[in-house]
Structure 1
Amino acid sequence: MARLTKKRKEALAKVDSSKAYTLEEASTLLKEITFTKFDASVDIDVRLGVDPRKADQMVRGVVALPHGTGKDVKVLVLCSPDKEEEAKAAGADYVGLDEYIKKIEGGWVDVDVIITMPTVMAKVGRLGRVLGPRGLMPNPKAGTVTLEVGKAVKDVKAGKIDFKVDKSGIIHASVGKISFSAENIQDNVKEVLQTITKLKPSAAKGTYFKSIHLSTTMSPSIKVDSSTF
């Protein structure tokens, strides 16, 4: 068993595992128990009362975080030549089509988000086996298959993220960096939870938010009181 470091022990001592904290308390405490030398990501895990095996209980959506993700997102736009300048002007890191399709088929996936157009999906579709397992396959529901490539790039760069409930009924998402103020972390988390609330499937019965936890890259997990959402 791995030996606990002094700082890890200090962090664990500050968290009451039997308590459900308010979002305000959790956001503040999170900053007190993170000791990484790098700017750790703030993550949220939401367990929902849904059965993702049933199509009418799948929860998937997009949300624009008020304060962004704090991350420099690398964006690849796979588009026709007439849209290349629009994508570049919007801030895309890589723009093209056939040459990048070949690179991806060869194993290159050094990007965070891929945006494409409906008119070229016939070509992009064959990358599903490479991009699917990595969560990089463009999807209309996530706003990454669109004719408005410039707007899509700006949205992603500004902090737009997509999320999807996994097979265990849990949504995992990164909602900022620990360098954010506690208030900014709260704002981002509230926006995510409010969006998930709006997406509640009519077929889902009983308690929708089973549990909510906040953590950073290497911190203990903090349980958030889900009764207020």
Structure 2
Amino acid sequence: MRKLSRRQQENRKRTENIIYSNSEEAIKILRETATAKFIESVELHANLNIDPKYADQQLRTTVTLPNGIGKSIRIAVLTNASNFTEATQNGADIVGSDDLIDEISQGNINFDLLIATPDMMPRLAKLGRVLGPKGLMPSPKSGTVSTTLSATLSEFKKGKFEYKADKTGIVHVSFGKSNFTDNQLVENLIALYKSIEQNRPPGVKGKYFKSLFICTSMGPSIQLDLNTFD
């Protein structure tokens, strides 16, 4: 069995078998245990009472956190030539039409998010096998199929992102960086929790949340009382 470092042992003592009922206190401990030599991501892991194999128990939605997640993304826009100027002026890093489709088909994916206008979707269908596994296929549900490019680009540049529950019903999502202030992380955590709560799938019966943990990339898990946000 791998031996824990002194740093890991000390962090574990501060969090093991403790359930925090105060989000401010939990975030304070989280930042104090973020002792890696780089800026760590801050993550939420929510175990939900859902079975995603059923259509009415799936969770997939978008959220814009008040303080962003501390990550800039490259956005590509697939549209017709008449929209190129609008997309470029509103922050798109890559803009194209059939030429962009050809680039993607050759495996040249130099972006983190792809936004498309509805008229381009039929041409993009053949690339489902390329974009789908990477989570880059535009869809109306994720807000990445849009006729209002200016507004859509503005939202995603401000930090809007998509998240979903995995096949076991757990949501794993980053909500900031360890160099954020306590207040910024608390605000983001509350906003993310409310987003999950408000997008409760219609097929859920009874209790929705099973457990809720936060952590940094290299830090220990910190469990939150499910009544923390009531």
| TM-score calculated relative to the size of structure 1 | 0.94
Match of 1:32 in 2: 32
Match of 1:82 in 2: 82
How big is the shift at 1:130?
1.2
Per the alignment, in what secondary structure is the counterpart of residue 226 of structure 1? coil
Deviations 1:129-168 (A, max 9, x none): 1111111111111110001122111111101111111110
Range 100-109 or range 158-167, more displaced: 100-109
Match of 1:183 in 2: 183
Tell me how far apart the structure 2 counterparts of residues 146 and 51 of structure 1 sit (CA, whole Å): 30
RMSD: 1.5
**1:39-78 equivalences in 2 (<5 Å):** 39-78=39-78
1:152 aligns with 2:176: no
Match of 1:17 in 2: 17
Deviations 1:164-209 (A, max 9, x none): 1111001111111111111111111111111111111232112101
Deviations 1:16-35 (A, max 9, x none): 23424432122111111112
1:98 aligns with 2:101: no
Match of 2:204 in 1: 204
Return 5+ residue gaps in structure 2 as ranges: none
Aligned residues: 229
Return 5+ residue gaps in structure 1 as ranges: none
Kept in 1: contact 2:77–2:95 (CA 8 A):
yes
Per the alignment, in what secondary structure is the counterpart of residue 61 of structure 1? strand
Kept in 2: contact 1:19–1:223 (CA 8 A):
yes
Matched letter for residue 9 of structure 2: K
Tell me how far apart the structure 2 counterparts of residues 17 and 53 of structure 1 sit (CA, whole Å): 32
Identity of aligned residues (%): 38
Kept in 2: contact 1:21–1:222 (CA 8 A):
no
